[in-house]
Every structure is written in structure tokens, then in C-alpha cells.
Amino acid sequence: MRRLLCLLALAACSKASDDAKRMQASAPPTQVEPPSDLSIAVTIDGSAAAPILSDTLRTTKPDFADAERRAWLIPTLVAAAAPAGTSIEATSPTGMSVKLTHPMPQGLEPVLFLTRRGDVIVSAIDPHDPFPDYHGRGGRMHRAGDSLPHVAPVTKIAISRPPSYAPEPEPTH
């Protein structure tokens, strides 16, 4: 009788732990929103500019979107990044940074990317295939994953326009 009780107890324990390993704690959200405390400092040619906030991303239409992800071209969020040859340097809280040029070789474009997990990153994407099959599935499928440069999370974006850039004079009224 004692052996039977021990076997039943072991079976119940292993069954519960197996279910816990297989079951997801909660369903992922259907629509991911930017973190409410998002604030990315922006500098343009060394001068402070308006930061990119969660409200900025909520109110600006993404340049690329699917059911799970959204991405904004950096020039969409910071108009000063639009001139060809502009350098965009994104920095993380740990000081790691990636420097991208607008436009990049092979037609790639720098973007601010909101992932399905709610992470905000700066990355380079191909505008013709902004969300290739490997996004989010590299490890599981033993694929190489995203080889394009990116930094996450992002706390600062520094925009440096090319020396040949001359801003248009302000209109006088």
C-alpha cells in the first residue's frame, strides 16, 4: 500500500511539472504598445532636440507594420535625419552603440523597431522585406538570425548631418 501511494505521488508530481513546462503563463498581447516610460534622447549635430517618447510612436504612423511588429524610418521620427549621408548613432544604456548612415549600402534603411516583445531597438532593414522570416525565429530553427546591425534598448540617438548639408533659411514674414 505504501509503495502504491509513493508511486501515485511521484506520478502526480511529474505530471504537474511536465504541464508547467509545456503551458504558457499567459497569452502574448495581440497588439504591442511602446513602453509607457519610453524616452529616447535625440541630438542633432550636437544640439539637444525633442526626445522620442512613447506618445511619438503611438501617434506616428509606422512606415512598416505587420500583425506583430512596427518600424519607423528614423527620418520619419526625426526629420533632420532625412538628408542623404546623414549619420545616425544609436546608444544603449550600457554605452554600446551602432552607427548607421542614411541611406545605407544595398538599399538598407535605419529604423526604430518595436518588436513583438515590446522592445524598442534601432536596426537596419531592407524596405522591400522589412520583416524577413528569420526575425524572432533564428535560435529555434537553428538559422543564423538577423545579421544586420542593431542596438537594444535605445536611450540616445545622435544625428550628424553631412558637412555639405546647409539648412534652408527660415522664411521671413
How high is the pLDDT of residue 53? Answer: 96
Does the N-terminal peptide bond of residue 127 adopt cis geometry, omega within 30 degrees of 0?
A: no
How high is the pLDDT of residue 90? Answer: 95
Rounded CA-CA distance 122/124 in Å is 7
How high is the pLDDT of residue 5? Answer: 52
Cβ atoms within 10 Å of 2's Cβ, excluding its own: 6
Q: What residues in the chain have per-residue pLDDT under 50?
A: 14-16, 135
Q: pTM for this structure?
A: 0.72
How high is the pLDDT of residue 50? Answer: 96
How high is the pLDDT of residue 25? Answer: 61
How high is the pLDDT of residue 140? Answer: 55
